[in-house]
Structure 1
């Protein structure tokens, strides 16, 4: 569980991140979950997007579903974009404030 200070810090880091996860008309597929899991293991912080015209889920629903499947935390959801965070098990790069 993230504190509001930690969320604010992660939001500031996410501004510079590229959107690497896209959810379209196929919705939550095992491939999408695997892609998110691999990206979280490599980067710790990822930005995703839901294509609102074709996706069966809202961005909030998608972010929470992916977070639950991957064991990550939802940092923020704005419009069709969302940010997820999961600390690396070995050698974490992001140090959260207390």
Structure 2
């Protein structure tokens, strides 16, 4: 289910205080990175990711790969920082506004 505008706005306010949980280096997206992303999304629901890369094209391809493999919603993309959200169905931590 896609997030509504007011829900995205709420998540963006929560994003400001977050530190990056996952750092993607020169090796790009590896299986270990994807496993860590799954664990982080299950535990935190809202995850900030820092991407090291020299050009925008490689950074954009990494972002696209992370979004597709994690089935998460993009909350924010600023430069080389990406924030993803995926609700934990069993134990949700973040209460999204209804209206």
Query: TM-score if structure 1 supplies the norm length?
Result: 0.88
1:94 is matched with which residue?
94
Mark the CA change 1:40 to 1:11 in structure 2 (over 3 Å): closer, same or farther.
Answer: same
Q: Map 1:1-98; keep pairs closer than 5 Å.
A: 1-53=2-54, 57-58=58-59, 60-98=60-98
Name the SS for the 1:37 alignment partner.
helix
Q: CA RMSD in A?
A: 1.8
Moved beyond 3 Å, runs of 4+: 53-56
| Structure 1 residue ranges without an equivalent (≥5) | none
Post-superposition CA distance 1:66-95 (Å, at most 9, x none): 121111111110011110000001120101
How many pairs does the alignment contain? 97
How far is the alpha carbon of 1:55 from its aligned partner?
9.3
| Structure 2 residue ranges without an equivalent (≥5) | none
Query: TM-score if structure 2 supplies the norm length?
Result: 0.88
